[in-house]
Amino acid sequence: MAKADQKEEGMESPKPTILHFSHSHPLELTNLSTLNINGKSQLSCSGCKQKLSSKYAYCCLSCNYFLHASCSQLPPEVRHPVDKDHPLCLSAVAPYPGGVFKCSGCSEPGSGFYYACGSCRLELHAQCANMPLHIRNPAHRHPLELSVAVARGGMGFFCLVCGKYGRKSWRYRCKSCVFDAHP
């Protein structure tokens, strides 16, 4: 079992066994270095689809189902300014062919956990739903706010940090200076 000093930052202390909505069997907190699995270095989280990077993960070994401890603790519902009228609900599999959705934030496809509003047809990667709403960028003196870039003439926005165009997707913007940057 993991000790308190092995927990990921911002998480509550891990429990040895959990029941998670995304899988039908109990998930055991497992020290990944003790597993005898071929291709262990290529294991990925069934939630975020990223490589398992920490020493511990929740596992169902009979199904080869793995979750980062942090992914196991994503809130079932979030409020986000992109949809002020409805909560966004966490889902495990998109109801589309192949389980793939298009993120309304970054415009990239996704197949892992995502937040959605069925009324607004809004879908966000879990990572995109948790992006900071305001950031500081050394290239600009004011704080930048997360906003949606509206396509004009087929173009999204021009990033003043890298000098390239961004698609119709999220950007960080200083409204007073019309300064745009990629997230």
Round the average pLDDT of the chain to a whole number and report it.
86
- The single-letter code of the amino acid at 69 is A
Residue 23 or 54, more confident: 23
3-state SS class at 83: strand
Provide the percentage of residues in the chain whose pLDDT is more than 90: 56
DSSP 7: S
- What share of the chain in percent tops pLDDT 70? 87
- Mean pLDDT, rounded, for 152-164: 81
Beta bridge partners of 152: 155
Query: Which class for 28: exposed (0-12), middle (13-18), buried (19 or more C-beta within 10 A)?
Result: middle
The model carries a pTM of 0.78
Tell me the per-residue pLDDT of 49-95, one tens digit each, with 9 for 90 and over. 999 988 899 999 999 999 999 999 999 999 988 888 999 999 998 88
Say what the alpha-carbon torsion angle 98, 53, 146, 107 is, to the nearest 10 degrees.
-20
Read off the tokens for 145: 């706010």
Nearest to 58 by CA among 119, 94, 102, 11: 11
User: Which ranges of 45-140 does DSSP label H, i.e. alpha helix?
Assistant: 69-72, 126-129
Integer Cα distance of 124 and 113 in angstroms: 9
Say what the pLDDT of residue 98 is: 87
Residue 162 CA, distance from chain mean position: 24
Q: Which of 46, 70, 49 is nearest to 59 (CA)?
A: 46
**How does residue 6 score in pLDDT terms, banded at 50, 70 and 90?**
very low
